[in-house]
Structure 1
Amino acid sequence: MAPVDTAAIDGRIAEFIGRVEAERTRLFHEHLHATVRRASPLLLGLATMEGVSIAEAVSQSRPPENWPRMPLYDFPPSRLRVSQLRPIRRGSTNLHEERRFRRVFCDPGVIIRPVDDPRGRFAVRPHSGMLAFTAAIGPSLLSAFGATATLMLRDPLPDTLAIAMPGRPLRQLIDHPLFSEHPCRVLRLDSDTQAGSSILSFRVPLVPFEIPRPEDATVASA
């Protein structure tokens, strides 16, 4: 019996796995191009201000291990909120918080800046036909998982200010060019007693947004 060339077989298996994964990733990006049709103007405005290419960032996304056998899972906004309030309160992060943040945004999302980045975290992910995001705005966290966005403040607002906030422009409280360019009025204010934070909610209509086709992204980056 002729000896078995196990090294050659292992090489063919590795090559096959690589081809399958490359095709799966290409199909995943085509899926995003076909299904993601909207984004928050806050995301697009913030990306422009910070010199971040959302299209380039999304082109780095990878499908979850169980896709396409299982559809993409949309994390509810409340899950995201829980994963981030604790590090806001402490002003520091640890490995556990990093893992929780990555669990929400990695595969199929993209972490543009991790939780320990001095500029603050920034991440995007597809969510119900839109491109959702969370990003640090100074010591606060801005998130949009639909037309309703939230701004999580590190510290609770004084009672007198909290009572007066609903209906007022957000720029009166947060001095940031993003809220001057995109005026928003506070819908409601919630307090998280466990985290010691205030959460402002406001509506920002979504705008059309299209993720480039995989071949378009390849040409643009060449």
Structure 2
Amino acid sequence: MSGVVGIDADPGMSPEGARLAMEMRMFPLAVCRARQALFRRNIELNVRSATPLLDIVAKATGLELSDVACDIRPPPGWPIRSLQGAGLATLESVDRQFSFTPKAILRRHRKAGLIVRWDPANKDVIGVRIVGNSIEMTVVAGPLQLDTLDGRARLRVPWGIPATLAAAMPGRPVSQIVEHPWLQTTSWPVVAVIDDGGATVLTFQTGHAAWPTPTSAEDSYGREPA
């Protein structure tokens, strides 16, 4: 075995053998760091948009957007498996898992995602994830439950709305229907209203905001991930 058993250095091995053993021990960490640096570079070059709610929520909660971009971890199999293949979703596919249970939220952010805040018992959760070339988010803030995807957002409120009122809501700004600081300055139109067993889910059109790609290596992408 040329003086090396596994990756542990033998006290009697040659300096070359000891150096090899050390390099073998450090190799997984070096690969992990290189992969994370490559992933950050991929975000910098290819992620071009974000839900506009990201900036609103960030300002309201003190969330640092550059830290979010830096700390998102690459999904399993990346880069051999493309980010689009690993994280791509559609509104139809998300419909099947649209839930705000802790398990469902963690599942949505398992691939190319980051849980920024996690206190489900007190209804305080913020998660961000990369879907295609955009950054999306899930938020639980008290009674408000919100999830974004592909230029739309879905808001679940814990009360029902009579069918006659619900039928008149599409086309109206969501800010006229739900009173919340995050929505009050917006004019995003409601596109669908769905009864959810005593609760109500409103889907509204937000469009996309340009993602502010960091340009200073020292400021964000150059720092070591936490």
Q: Which moved more, 1:100-109 or 1:19-28?
A: 100-109
Counterpart code for 1:113: R
CA contact (8 A) 1:186 1:200 kept: yes
Aligned residues: 210
If the length of structure 2 is used for normalisation, what is the TM-score? 0.79
Contact preservation (8 Å) 2:43, 2:69: no
Checking the alignment, whether the CA contact within 8 Å between 1:36 and 1:210 is kept in structure 2 is no
- Classify the secondary structure of the residue corresponding to 2:182: helix
Q: What TM-score does the superposition give when structure 1 sets the normalisation length?
A: 0.81
8 A contact 2:123–2:143 mirrored in 1: no
| Pairing 1:18–2:29 present | yes
2:114 matched to which residue of 1?
110
Q: Is the 8 A contact 1:120 1:138 kept in 2?
A: yes
Asked whether the 8 Å contact 2:175–2:185 carries over to 1, the reply is no
Q: Which residue of 2 aligns with 1:124?
A: 128
Uncovered stretches (5+) of structure 1, i.e. residues with no partner: 88-96
Give the distance between the partners of 1:32 and 1:108, measured in 2 at CA.
Answer: 10
> C-alpha distance in 2, partners of 1:211/1:115?
29
1:103 is displaced (CA, Å) by 2.3
Higher strand share: 2
Map 1:187-202; keep pairs closer than 5 Å: 187-193=191-197, 196-202=198-204
Distance in 1 (alpha carbons) for counterparts of 2:135 and 2:163: 34
> Identity of paired residues, percent?
26
Q: Deviations over 1:109-164 (max 9, x none)?
A: 11112262524221111112111111124313222212122112233322232122
Contact kept, 8 Å, 2:40 with 2:221, in 1: the verdict is no
Q: Secondary structure at the match of 2:166?
A: helix
The range that moved more, 60-69 or 139-148, is 139-148
Cα RMSD between the aligned structures?
Answer: 2.8
Q: CA deviation at 1:190?
A: 2.0
